[in-house]
Amino acid sequence: MVLGAGVAGLTLANILQAAGIDCVVLERATRAHVETRARAGFLVPNTARVLDRHGLAEGLHRDGRPHGSCEFRTETGSFRLDYSTLGPCEPHTAYPQQNLVTDLLAHYLAAGGRVHFETAADAVHDIDGPRPTVDARDADGRPRRWRARYVAGCDGRHGAARRSLPPGTRRHQRDHGVTWLSLLAEAPPSLDAIGYALHRNGFAGHMTRTPQVTRYYLQYERGTPADAWSEDRIWDELDLRLGAAEHGPLRRGPIFQRGTIDLESDVVETLRHGSLLLAGDAASLLPPAAAKGANVAVLEAELLALALVDDLAHGDPTGLDQYSDRCLVHVWRAQEFSRWMVQLMHAPAGPDGASHFHDSLRRARIESLRTSRSHQDWFAENYVGI
């Protein structure tokens, strides 16, 4: 039983299906919502390799575009890192997450997989026994009960899997104190690189999604509604922070999606509780500053799928016994680099001495990244690595 039809759940379900392991996916949203929910858009090389290994990369190869440069803009100058020529010399692949989910879902259904949309899982019971159950409600609100050998919780940090963890489960949380206004604009990219702008008004980010759509981020006052700013004000602020006076104005277009994101980190230890196993955002939430969430989810899904196949098809529980420890090594490394990116891109709030001290450290990090080849190689290795 797989809870959640996102990247983690569908990658897991596809690998299990191909190995002849019967599974059912429960998803609380509609299929249309799942296939259009815009999230991340940069896939690291290991994610592409995982998808390739399991025959899940056709759309990625057809429509994905290699992306290997990022540009840092500050009020004292700008510089570019061609990170695909640094460190391991590998690029990202720009491919919208909703396209990947659509691909994974189509592949799973074409192979005979079963997905129940608009089916909300409420709780997982009997996780210490050999046959856990999942209580759920279908689209009409009627209760359903499912029984399985294992339940894979891939339904996010607020899903039934997290709610069903036993008392005493360790959960590590950090609020980074930063909020972003997240925007999708029907406008061609204005840079041929990922753009990171560090401005006295706050951070601004430019991330290409497709030749027609660009993702923008603006550091935003927490608690302000996403619709508080007009489109003109948003574009003017993006122009200001991204340095339109020096680099030229942005290519504007209608903003068709907006929302706010509080940058937070969240890790559950352990990721296995008897017959309940966690992956994706149910296992760990990463701030989007380093675009690691979907990539960690794919890695976890493959590790979990192969471990389940070993146990169910070959009677070897070793992979399941080691699953949590193996994943958490990668999770904490991704958390560490994501935290480093948050600190690099955002000045501490307030005029006090401590804030001035930390802001000076941030400027020193930027200068080191601009001038030190060893620092650039370290950045590239972590930026595209999982």
The per-residue pLDDT for range 243-269, each reduced to its tens digit, is: 999 999 999 999 999 999 999 999 999
Cβ-based burial of 173 (10 A; exposed 0-12, middle 13-18, buried ≥19): exposed
What predicted TM-score, i.e. pTM, was given to this entire model? Answer: 0.94
Tell me whether residue 116 is one of the annotated catalytic residues: no
Q: Please give the pLDDT value at position 203.
A: 96
Record the tokens describing residue 338, joined without a space.
Answer: 């994501």
The pair phi, psi for residue 26, each rounded to 5°, is -105, 130
Of 47-51, 66-70, 286-290, 356-360, the range with the lowest mean pLDDT is 356-360
Q: Please give the pLDDT value at position 353.
A: 64
- Rounded Cα distance between 346 and 309, Å, is 44
Note the pLDDT tens digit of each residue in 201-213. Answer: 999 999 988 889 9
Note the pLDDT tens digit of each residue in 13-33. Answer: 999 999 999 999 999 999 999
Q: Please give the pLDDT value at position 75.
A: 86
The domain ranges of the chain are 2-65+97-173+266-342
Q: Please give the pLDDT value at position 44.
A: 96
Among 288, 323, 330, 346, the one annotated catalytic: 288
Place of tokens 């019967």: 22
CATH H superfamily, domain 2-65+97-173+266-342? FAD/NAD(P)-binding domain (3.50.50.60)
Q: How far apart are the first and last CA of the chain?
A: 27
For the chain, percent of residues with pLDDT exceeding 90: 90
- Is 266 within 8 Å of 172 (Cβ atoms)? yes
Inform me whether the pLDDT recorded for 40 exceeds 80: no
Strand 194-199 versus strand 70-74 pairing type = parallel
Q: Please give the pLDDT value at position 151.
A: 98
Q: Please give the pLDDT value at position 322.
A: 98
Q: Please give the pLDDT value at position 349.
A: 63
Inform me whether the pLDDT recorded for 350 exceeds 70: no
Among 83, 95, 108, 196, the one annotated catalytic: 196
The one-letter amino acid code at 254 reads: P
Of 32-41, 146-155, 302-311, the range with the lowest mean pLDDT is 32-41
Among 95, 216, 323, 383, the one annotated catalytic: 383
Q: Average pLDDT of 196-223?
A: 93
- Is 164 within 8 Å of 156 (Cβ atoms)? no
Inform me whether the pLDDT recorded for 380 exceeds 70: yes
Among 273, 292, 330, 346, the one annotated catalytic: 292
Q: Please give the pLDDT value at position 134.
A: 98
Tell me whether residue 67 is one of the annotated catalytic residues: yes
The one-letter amino acid code at 214 reads: T
Tell me whether residue 188 is one of the annotated catalytic residues: no
Please state, as a whole number, how many other Cβ atoms lie within 10 Å of the Cβ of residue 123: 12
Inform me whether the pLDDT recorded for 355 exceeds 90: no
Tell me whether residue 292 is one of the annotated catalytic residues: yes
Note the pLDDT tens digit of each residue in 103-115. Answer: 999 999 999 999 9
Q: Please give the pLDDT value at position 208.
A: 85
Q: Please give the pLDDT value at position 386.
A: 80
Single out the residue of 55, 54, 19 nearest to residue 314, CA to CA.
Answer: 19
Among 67, 107, 199, 346, the one annotated catalytic: 67
Q: Please give the pLDDT value at position 351.
A: 63
Q: Please give the pLDDT value at position 364.
A: 93
